[in-house]
Amino acid sequence: MSTPSFPEIIPGTDGPADSETLGYTLNHHAILVSNLTNTRKFYGDVLGMRHVFTFRLNPQWSFMFLGHAQGGKNGTGFQDAATIEMEMRNREGLLEFLSYEGATPPPTQTRPHSSFSHLGLVVPNILAAQARMEAKGVTIVKRVGDAAHAESVIPAAFGFPDKDAFQEASPGLQMLGFDGVLIIADPDGNLLEVMQQ
């Protein structure tokens, strides 16, 4: 038996899913945030997500749903928040943000027990998206064309136990085109990997 060489790509070989799971789809991902107003501004004004609704359970605890217009995947459609809400149970890619005002310290994705790494966003023009993020004052962790550095938050956020492990895997990341992605952070430090369509 030969020893595999790395990096290595292992193609998926799964057959059709169990018929009892027909219709299952990942509807939303929930993220803890410290401030719904700042979160809505970032994901809405910067990334174009629409505010579906906010539910306030009491004066401190609220959650909010945001989503992209599904018809806009190819740049031709538009849906308002009311349409998104009507179709909410039949959609994919929604984000739910949960916030407890006054929580100390505010929850972030950098906590050691967190298994959250990042969200992925696909855009039609990555350089235009990068320019937009810069103009909006978004925290840019890694620019398009730059290599990810071991001293940044990227190694920990992508599950590497230390800088050496990240350095060892860097050639594989470059082979996958990681230098061509943009990494940004939301107001709470949650990372988003922005990729060219």
Out of 107, 138, 171, a domain closes at 107
List the domain range (segments joined by +) for residue 65. 25-107
Out of 82, 107, 132, a domain closes at 107
Scan for tokens 């039609």, then name that residue. 124
Q: Check whether residue 124 and residue 96 sit in a common domain.
A: no
pLDDT at 183: 95
pLDDT at 41: 97
Q: Check whether residue 136 and residue 99 sit in a common domain.
A: no
Q: Check whether residue 29 and residue 84 sit in a common domain.
A: yes
pLDDT at 49: 93
pLDDT at 112: 47
CATH code at position 134: 3.10.180.10
pLDDT at 129: 95
Residues 64-118 pLDDT 10s: 999 987 765 545 556 677 777 777 777 788 999 999 877 655 555 445 446 788 9
pLDDT at 108: 52
Question: Any residues with CB less than 8 A from the CB of 181 and at least 6 apart, and which?
Answer: 126, 142, 144, 193, 194, 195
Q: Check whether residue 103 and residue 116 sit in a common domain.
A: no
> Please, are residues 99 and 33 in contact by the beta-carbon 8 Å criterion?
yes
Indicate the number of domains in the chain: 2
Q: Check whether residue 98 and residue 121 sit in a common domain.
A: no
Supply the pTM of this predicted model: 0.80
User: Based on the number of CB atoms within 10 Å of its own CB, is 195 exposed (0-12), middle (13-18) or buried (19 or more)?
Assistant: middle
Residues of the chain below pLDDT 50: 74, 109-110, 112-113
